[in-house]
Structure formats: C-alpha cells, structure tokens
Amino acid sequence: MTRFLTLSFVILLLSLLAAEAVAQPGARADSAIVVKTRPDAFVRLAAVDSTIRQDMRYYGARNFVGRPIPGYEAPQCWLTRPAAEALSRVQDDLRPFGLTLLVFDCFRPQRAVDHFVRWARDIRDTATKRDYYPTVPKGALFGEGYIASRSGHSRGSTVDLTIIPVESRARASGGGCEETLPLPMGTGYDCFHPRSHTAHADMAPQVRANRLLLKTAMERRGFRNYPKEWWHFTLRGEPFPETFFDVPVE
C-alpha cells in the first residue's frame, strides 16, 4: 500500500509538471534513406548518464528471436544526443523517488531490423511463440504492427524501457508476456499481445498506475508513446526523422 501511494503521488506530481512541456508534432518517415556511417550526433547513453541501467536484450538470446541479433556487438545503448539528454532529464525527475530507468533497446541497426523481417517470414520457426506471441499467428505479426521493415529505433531517437526501484538488484527471470518486472507492468518486454497496449482495458490498478507513471514521465521530457507497446517511446522533433542508420552497436 505504501508503494502504491508513493507511485500515485509521483504520477500526480509529474502530471502537474507535464503542463510545462511543449508538445511537438512527431515526424514520420515516408522515405527510406539508409546511411551506413554513424553521425557525430550519436552518443553512448552511459557517457551522458551512467545512472540509467541497461539490459540490452538483443545482444543476447533473451528476446523474441531466441538468439543474439546481428548488429549488436556490445550491450550498449546508443542514442542521438538530444534523446540521450532528454532521457537523462527523465532520470533526474525519478531519482528523488527512489526510481530509475531501465533500458532494453535504443538505436537498432537496419541490419537487425532486416533480420527481424526474415525471422517473421519464416513461419516454421515458432520456438519463442509461447513466451512472446502466444495468441498471434506468426504470419500476422506484420499486420498487427509488431514487426515492420523500418523501425524508429534505426533513426536513433527511439528507446524501449521501463522504471524500476533503485534498490532492485535481482534480474527478472524469463522474458516476454509472462516476465514479471520489479515494477509490475502487466507484461514483460516485447510481448506481442493486446495486453501490451499501453491503455489496455483489463489491467490491475497497480499496473495501470505504473504504466501511467512511465508514460507521464517520458512525455514531460518530450517523448511520445507507441500505443501498442507500453515500453516504446520516440523523441518528438527527433533530429533524423527520415534517415535510418545501419552501423553496428559497439
């Protein structure tokens, strides 16, 4: 009960502060410009804010493909500097309440996106179905908006993340839909299921409060949420709205 009241207070505080934020229209990439060199505007998140925790799922096998993903040569979060600095401001907002951000994915090379597309088209490979897409036929992942040939992550200003208590040290077991995070969000990361929709109707009150906390904190600092994934946010006014990069994560 104490934690619920604390989180409710944080939500109220951030909601009041959110009125100070200036909303900007989000840019959409209508053309596919792929660049194979990393721009100077890209930075390691750890160099901007080393207090933000990282659990880079595509560097290892704990993801919906079930193996390390091409292009991830190190478990590092890279972002455009504006996105990294905005994320650091979110962290500053959360720190006084004993909370911290935990990122799962940041910049995603186009070669990794291409690998996801090949995986999704191989309908025989369903090894991870039970954990990550239990009710969605693999062939429908494109139509449902879970897999696409272009990803905002490849533009460098999109991040997948959650909030956890600072004192949390244990690594959550498993992955996907049944993963239980330190701060319950109703699903784990990369659960391809309607329960992952940010405003899904059937949520426990605590889960709803936790998702609202994350969304409010991120929106206050200039990010917008993808409604089908509670963990997915893109910086408004991103510096490369129509450019996709294909350089390894190092």
The residue from 179, 219, 229, 238 that is catalytic is 229
> Rounded to 5 degrees, what angle do the CA atoms 37, 42, 48 make?
155
Residue with tokens 């995603």: 108
DSSP 157-217: -EEEEEEEETT--SPPPS-GGG---SS--SS-TT--SGGGSTT-SS--HHHHHHHHHHHHH
The phi, psi pair for 30, rounded to 5°, reads: -100, -15
Strand pairing partners for 161? Answer: 103
User: Catalytic residue at 229?
Assistant: yes
Q: Residue 236 in contact with residue 24, Cβ under 8 Å?
A: yes
Instruction: Give catalytic residues, as residue numbers.
Output: 229
